């Protein structure tokens, strides 16, 4: 009985000892700021079980906008591990539309030239038929509308309209094509510029869905089995960028080559072969972005003649080269 009382007394002693020790240590515990490590007297702020002087917290711990450096209270935007007031994020961080300069918050388009703009601008503004840019004041400094055709001011300074320029381009291009082995192309051919696509469709009788830019008219008379009074006339849209003009002209000159040499290809391959002329022109100016865009379009074209036919003939050209391809052309 005595042992039990002694044991109970010892337990009570230990409890009283530990309580006194804990209460004593808590009453004399020194609270220090987690940031500056100095003693805290008076009011303080806690965050994640850490204590801070009010000023240390406001100056160094409280969330601030990474743009204006002012304290963030309430909602904020996070990007690349940086925090922003909603207004700062919208005005200074969000990408801006290259057409209207307003922040892009919804759907947007990024064109082949690296320009970005709101998706809804596409339904309100035309595309340049040469470079495919959206024609606007801020992107292209505006542009021109000629017979329902849109040309931006960037391309306008490069368009072909002068008869002297047309002749010079023809003579130079003829030399280049003859250098590839395309002989028997006339030294000169009448080339007429047409402002309207509708007029070009009327002259050619080719459906407008084919996106026609040029047409070669070939007429002749026969005496017996002999062709006489052969005549070529090439029609091309006016106001084409010089690079597009050269490509269209090269295409039409390959039509002349086929006519003048009496070569009959499968109907599905005629336009594909002539498109090799356009590809030659674009390949000759690889530094020009328009070349890249036009070549990409040609290889993606789903038209059975201008697209598939071109890809077939281009594969033959890559395997055989111009000389061998032309030598065996009448076998296709």
Instruction: Give 237-295 pLDDT, tens digit per residue.
Output: 999 999 999 999 999 999 999 999 999 999 889 999 999 999 999 999 999 999 999 99
Task: Provide the pLDDT for residue 22.
Answer: 45
Q: Could you tell me the pLDDT band of residue 46, with boundaries at 50, 70 and 90?
A: confident
| CA dist., res. 185 & res. 299, Å (int) | 27
Let me know: does 210 contact 306? Beta carbons within 8 Å: yes
Q: Average pLDDT of the chain?
A: 88
Using DSSP, state whether 60 is helix, strand or coil: helix
| Average pLDDT over every residue of 166-185 | 96
* pLDDT value of residue 163: 94
Percent of the chain with pLDDT over 90: 63
> How sure is the predictor about 27, in pLDDT bands with cuts at 50, 70 and 90?
very low
142-160 in b/e form (b: 16+ CB < 10 A) is: ebeeeeebbbbbbbbebbb
Contacts 24+ apart (CB under 8 A), 34-39: 35/60, 35/61
pLDDT average, residue stretch 287-304: 95
Res 98: pLDDT: 95
At how many degrees (to 10) do helices 267-283 and 242-260 cross? 140
Instruction: Write the DSSP assignment of 201-242 as a string of letters.
Output: HHHHT--GGG---EEEEEEEEEETTEEEEEEEEEEEESSEEH
């Amino acid at each position: 009985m005595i042992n039990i009382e002694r044991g109970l007394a010892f337990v009570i002693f230990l409890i009283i000892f530990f309580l006194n020790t804990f209460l004593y240590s808590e009453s004399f515990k020194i609270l220090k700021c987690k940031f500056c490590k100095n003693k805290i007297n008076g009011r303080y702020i806690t965050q994640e079980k850490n204590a801070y002087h009010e000023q240390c917290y406001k100056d160094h711990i409280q969330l601030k906008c990474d743009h204006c450096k002012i304290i963030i209270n309430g909602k904020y935007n996070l990007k690349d591990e940086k925090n922003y007031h909603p207004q700062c994020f919208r005005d200074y961080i969000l990408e801006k539309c290259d057409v209207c300069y307003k922040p892009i918050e919804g759907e947007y388009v990024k064109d082949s030239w690296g320009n970005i703009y709101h998706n809804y601008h596409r339904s309100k503004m035309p595309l340049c038929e040469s470079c495919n840019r959206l024609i606007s004041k801020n992107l292209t400094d505006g542009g021109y509308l000629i017979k329902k055709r849109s040309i931006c001011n960037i391309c306008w300074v490069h368009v072909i309209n002068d008869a002297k320029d047309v002749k010079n381009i023809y003579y130079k291009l003829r030399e280049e094509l003859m250098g590839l082995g395309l002989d028997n192309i006339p030294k000169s051919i009448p080339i007429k510029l047409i402002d309207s696509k509708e007029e070009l469709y009327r002259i050619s009788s080719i459906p407008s869905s084919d996106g026609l830019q040029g047409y070669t008219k070939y007429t002749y008379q026969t005496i017996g089995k002999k062709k006489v009074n052969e005549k070529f006339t090439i029609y091309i849209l006016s106001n084409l960028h010089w690079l597009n003009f050269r490509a269209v002209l090269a295409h039409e000159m390959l039509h002349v080559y086929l006519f003048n040499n009496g070569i009959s290809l499968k109907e599905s391959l005629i336009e594909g072969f002539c498109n090799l002329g356009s590809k030659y022109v674009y390949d000759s100016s690889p530094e020009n972005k328009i070349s890249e865009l036009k070549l990409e379009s040609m290889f993606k074209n789903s038209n059975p003649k201008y697209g598939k036919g071109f890809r077939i003939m281009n594969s033959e050209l890559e395997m055989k080269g111009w000389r061998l391809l032309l030598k065996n052309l009448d076998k296709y």
